[in-house]
């Protein structure tokens, strides 16, 4: 499984809202500044998260976004699956078997199923609250002091 940029940015966006949400609604432009991700890309991602019910939006001068649930109720698996469709390293049907004509004799099916189970266990067992504990210092709350380059 390779998580796309969209999946990684969705996790970052949700982590940013979780870390800064205690101060009220979070504006996309503020997340963009802190994370170095374009506003347009974040708007595409937040639309998906909003439709799925993971964030709530509010209009107006004090508007922005906030989590729809507590950070300890939202898992990485929920976000990754929403953005990626699946967290499996190989294509499987509902029963977990490979979709090849040789499924019954395919030895690698067991390997891919075990790998898929392990990945899902980590993703589903890791909440936004867990990930916030891993963040060093003010990584999600401060704008990084980056040099400006002009050409």
> 136-145 pLDDT, tens per residue?
766 666 655 5
pLDDT of residue 91 exceeding 70, the answer is no
Name residues whose C-beta falls within 8 Å of residue 20's C-beta, 6 or more positions apart in sequence.
Answer: 26, 30, 140, 141
Q: Which has the higher per-residue pLDDT, 12 or 96?
A: 12
Name residues whose C-beta falls within 8 Å of residue 21's C-beta, 6 or more positions apart in sequence.
Answer: 66, 67
Q: What is the pLDDT of residues 48-66, one digit of tens each?
A: 999 999 999 999 888 999 9
Q: Which has the higher per-residue pLDDT, 148 or 20?
A: 20
pLDDT of residue 60: 87
Mean residue pLDDT across the chain: 85
- Choose which CATH entry (3.40.630.30, 3.40.980.10, 3.40.50.2300, 1.10.10.10) describes domain 5-86+126-134: 1.10.10.10
Q: Helix or strand or coil: residue 150? A: coil
Average pLDDT over residues 143-151: 56
Percentage of residues in the chain having pLDDT higher than 90? 59
pLDDT of residue 135: 80
pLDDT of residue 125 exceeding 90, the answer is yes
Q: Helix or strand or coil: residue 66? A: strand
- Which residues lie across from 92 on neighbouring strands? 98
- Poorest-pLDDT segment among 2-6, 16-20, 100-104, 132-136: 100-104
pLDDT of residue 97 exceeding 50, the answer is yes
């Amino acid at each position: 499984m390779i998580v796309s940029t969209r999946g990684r940015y969705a996790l970052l966006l949700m982590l940013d809202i979780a870390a800064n949400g205690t101060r009220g609604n979070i504006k996309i432009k503020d997340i963009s500044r802190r994370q170095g991700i374009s506003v347009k890309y974040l708007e595409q991602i937040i639309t998906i998260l909003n439709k799925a019910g993971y964030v709530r939006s509010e209009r107006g001068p004090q508007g922005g976004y906030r989590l729809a649930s507590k950070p300890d109720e939202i898992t990485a698996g929920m976000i990754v699956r929403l953005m990626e469709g699946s967290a499996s390293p190989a294509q499987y049907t509902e029963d977990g078997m490979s979709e090849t004509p040789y499924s019954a004799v395919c030895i690698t099916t067991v390997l891919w199923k075990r790998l898929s189970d392990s990945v899902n266990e980590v993703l589903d067992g890791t909440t936004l609250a867990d990930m916030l504990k891993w963040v060093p210092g003010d990584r999600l709350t401060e704008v990084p002091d980056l040099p400006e380059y002009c050409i």
